[in-house]
């Protein structure tokens, strides 16, 4: 399966967390325990910890600010 | 040091899953908070003072805390009618002392809901408040309605923590199991991700709610448009409401501050009551300041009324529009004020500000805001939820204990300041009593 890069526009991101919770690749139990292995809400902005994106596009659909871009 | 389960003291969501990294009493990283919450933690040292400031004859001087308390008490003893205002950005413990001071001085006490969700409070006293908790919303709601509010700007994590996205007990697939309706006068960020967006004309909320209630009660509407919304769209929304398993209507200032005010909210609550003939439906206010709900709760349990309380007759009286802060200031009825954790000068009407600026007032706030810059005496305090513990109420009336993240030994808390002022006033109770005896004899 192809793995994509996620690019976050820090100016646009408001830290609502919609991308984290709508992502099927993220284990929410891990997030609840404070383990951030893929995406993290750090200092009010989304930060990508490592490449994991399968390109489903859920985060793009639900990001209210259009702050996310998926690329190679 | 990493501190987990920290509660965010910014908005009414009170997100309690923050993870904060502290190094040498400095906040380094804030995880799980939105941009608004994170900035409160990361920039908590901005705009702060270390000593109280007294303004006399155009000069400012820094004094120590004991001197500041004595000065404040002297100021209050020299006044005949005092207003205590604010309280929504502090803990319940501090609010309790504010009520005690108001009662002792026979003054007015009001909180910031007077200029935001005041009409909602008046309405739920009239028609009830069929509400639920945010946990119910997370676990059960399959239809979310945001009316006159834009949570993605004001409560950024509301959708991801409580309403649209979380995977709950009966909503296991998260957002796939839910629908979102947004009703607003403009296409907000929240409206952009909605399943259905109704753009209504400004100040026509009452009309639209009435039309919805008429349809629900079996009446036929002949107009093509109501409040700028096509009738087919209204029918579509009504069908979505009737066919859901558990619906929730969140409403904000877009509904409370339009024409009709409390009557509009009466109507919205009645709409929810009508919907309960078909399915389970609830309503909830989107509270702004993190403890504005607590301010209403504490005032209600101590005085019987949620805001705008007048103690001038020796017992609590409540009549919003007469005893609310904006009105008593505009009528020039008070000759002193205590502003606690609020900034009325930045958002009150001009007439009220004019009078507030003409009287001596005490400002108790962690931040040196606009109101602090014109106060006769400004007393800096610790920030509740960052430098001191305290209890606050979430927007669904659930009390949550805020945690202390870093030490601040230089400043007292809001509670300590108000307690000190109260205790010093009690020492002078005979002066206050004498004043009221004279007033009642007159």
Residues B295 and B415 occupy one common structural domain: yes
How large is the average pLDDT for residues B154-176?
91
Q: Which pTM does this prediction carry?
A: 0.94
CB contact under 8 A, B34 and A43: no
Residues B314 and B270 occupy one common structural domain: no
CA B214/CA B201 separation, integer angstroms: 19
- Residue B179 belongs to domain spanning: 118-285
CA B81/CA B90 separation, integer angstroms: 24
The residues, ordered by sequence, that sit 6+ positions from B438 with a Cβ below 8 Å of its Cβ are: none
Using a 10 angstrom Cβ sphere, with 0-12 exposed, 13-18 middle and 19 or more buried, the burial of residue B215 is buried
Residues B95 and B195 occupy one common structural domain: no
Q: Which tokens in the block code for residue B137?
A: 């919303």
Residue B18 confidence (pLDDT) above 70:
yes
What pLDDT, on the 0 to 100 scale, is given for residue A49?
83
Percent of chain B, pLDDT > 70? 99
- Residue A59 belongs to domain spanning: 5-71
- Domain end, chosen from B257, B285, B313, is at B285
The answer to whether residue A12 neighbours chain B at the CB level (below 8 Å) is: no
Residue B431: pLDDT band (50, 70, 90) is confident
- Domain end, chosen from B285, B318, B348, is at B285
How large is the average pLDDT for residues B121-127?
92
CA B211/CA B281 separation, integer angstroms: 18
Percent of chain B, pLDDT > 90? 90
- Domain end, chosen from B229, B251, B285, is at B285
Question: How many structural domains does chain B have?
Answer: 2
CA A42: distance to chain centroid? Answer: 11
Element (H, E) at A18: helix A18-22
The residues, ordered by sequence, that sit 6+ positions from B109 with a Cβ below 8 Å of its Cβ are: B83, B84, B85, B98, B99, B102, B299, B303, B309, B311
CB contact under 8 A, B32 and A41: yes
- Quick one: angle between helices B205-216 and B262-275, nearest 10? 20
What pLDDT, on the 0 to 100 scale, is given for residue B441?
61
What pLDDT, on the 0 to 100 scale, is given for residue B271?
97
As a whole number, the mean pLDDT across chain B is 94
Residue B26: inside a domain, yes or no?
Answer: no
CATH of the domain at B356: 3.40.50.740
Residue B57: pLDDT band (50, 70, 90) is confident
B268 contacts B209 by C-beta, under 8 angstroms: yes
pLDDT digits (tens, 9 = 90+) for B344-403: 999 999 999 999 999 999 999 999 999 999 999 999 999 999 999 999 999 999 999 999
pLDDT digits (tens, 9 = 90+) for A49-66: 888 888 888 889 888 888
- With contacts defined as CB-CB under 8 Å, which chain A residues touch B182? none
Residues B356 and B378 occupy one common structural domain: yes
Residues B318 and B425 occupy one common structural domain: yes
The answer to whether residue B31 neighbours chain A at the CB level (below 8 Å) is: yes
Residues B332 and B274 occupy one common structural domain: no
CA B159/CA B100 separation, integer angstroms: 38
The answer to whether residue A22 neighbours chain B at the CB level (below 8 Å) is: yes
Residues B190 and B128 occupy one common structural domain: yes
CB contact under 8 A, B31 and A44: no
Question: How many structural domains does chain A have?
Answer: 1
What pLDDT, on the 0 to 100 scale, is given for residue B438?
64
Which residues, listed in sequence order, are joined to residue B23 by a DSSP beta bridge?
B26
Buried b (16+ CB within 10 A) or exposed e, A57-67: ebbbebbbbeb
CA distance B239 to chain A (A): 25
CATH of the domain at B234: 3.40.228.10
């Amino acid at each position: 399966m192809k793995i994509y890069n996620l690019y976050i526009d820090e100016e646009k991101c408001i830290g609502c967390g919609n991308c984290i919770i709508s992502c099927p690749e993220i284990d929410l139990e891990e997030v609840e325990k404070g383990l951030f292995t893929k995406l993290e809400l750090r200092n009010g902005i989304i930060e990508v910890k490592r490449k994991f994106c399968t390109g489903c596009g859920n985060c793009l659909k639900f990001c209210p600010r259009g702050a996310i871009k998926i690329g190679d | 040091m990493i501190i987990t389960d920290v509660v965010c003291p910014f908005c009414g969501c009170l997100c309690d899953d923050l993870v904060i990294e502290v190094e040498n009493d400095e906040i380094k990283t804030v995880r799980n908070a939105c941009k608004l919450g994170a900035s409160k933690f990361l920039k908590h040292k901005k705009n702060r003072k270390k000593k109280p400031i007294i303004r006399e004859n155009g000069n400012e001087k820094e004094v120590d805390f004991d001197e500041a308390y004595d000065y404040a008490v002297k100021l209050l003893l020299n006044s005949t009618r005092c207003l205590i205002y604010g309280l929504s950005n502090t803990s319940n413990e501090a609010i309790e002392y504010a009520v005690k001071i108001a009662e002792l001085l026979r003054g007015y006490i009001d909180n910031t809901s007077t200029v935001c969700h005041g009409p909602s409070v008046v309405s739920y006293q009239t028609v009830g408040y069929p509400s639920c908790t945010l946990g119910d919303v997370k676990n059960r709601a399959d239809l979310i309605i945001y009316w006159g509010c834009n949570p993605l700007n004001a409560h950024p994590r509301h959708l991801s923590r409580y309403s649209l996205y979380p995977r709950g007990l009966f909503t296991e697939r998260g957002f796939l199991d839910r629908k979102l309706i947004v009703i607003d006068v403009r296409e907000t960020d929240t409206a952009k991700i909605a399943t259905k967006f109704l753009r209504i004309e400004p100040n026509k909320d009452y009309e639209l709610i009435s039309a919805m209630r008429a349809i629900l009660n079996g009446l036929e509407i002949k107009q093509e448009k109501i409040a700028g919304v096509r009738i087919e769209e209204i029918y579509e929304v009504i069908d979505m409401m009737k066919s859901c398993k558990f619906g929730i209507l969140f409403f904000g200032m877009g509904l409370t501050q339009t024409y009709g005010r409390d009557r509009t909210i009466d109507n919205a609550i009645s709409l929810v009551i009508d919907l309960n003939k078909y399915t389970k439906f609830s309503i909830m206010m989107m509270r702004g300041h993190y403890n504005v709900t607590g301010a209403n709760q504490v005032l209600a349990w101590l005085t019987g009324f949620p805001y705008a309380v007048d103690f001038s007759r020796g017992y609590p009286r409540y009549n919003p529009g007469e005893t609310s802060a904006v009105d008593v200031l505009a009528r020039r009825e008070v000759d002193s004020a205590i502003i606690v954790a609020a900034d009325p000068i930045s958002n009150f009407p001009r007439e009220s500000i004019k009078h507030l600026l003409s009287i001596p007032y005490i400002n108790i706030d962690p931040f040196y805001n606009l109101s602090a810059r014109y106060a006769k005496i400004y007393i800096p305090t610790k920030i509740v939820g960052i430098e001191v513990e305290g209890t606050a109420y979430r927007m669904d009336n659930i009390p949550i204990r805020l945690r202390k993240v870093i030490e601040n030994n230089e400043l007292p808390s809001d509670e300590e300041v108000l307690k000190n002022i109260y205790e010093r006033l009690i020492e002078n109770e005979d002066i206050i009593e004498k004043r009221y005896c004279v007033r009642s004899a007159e």
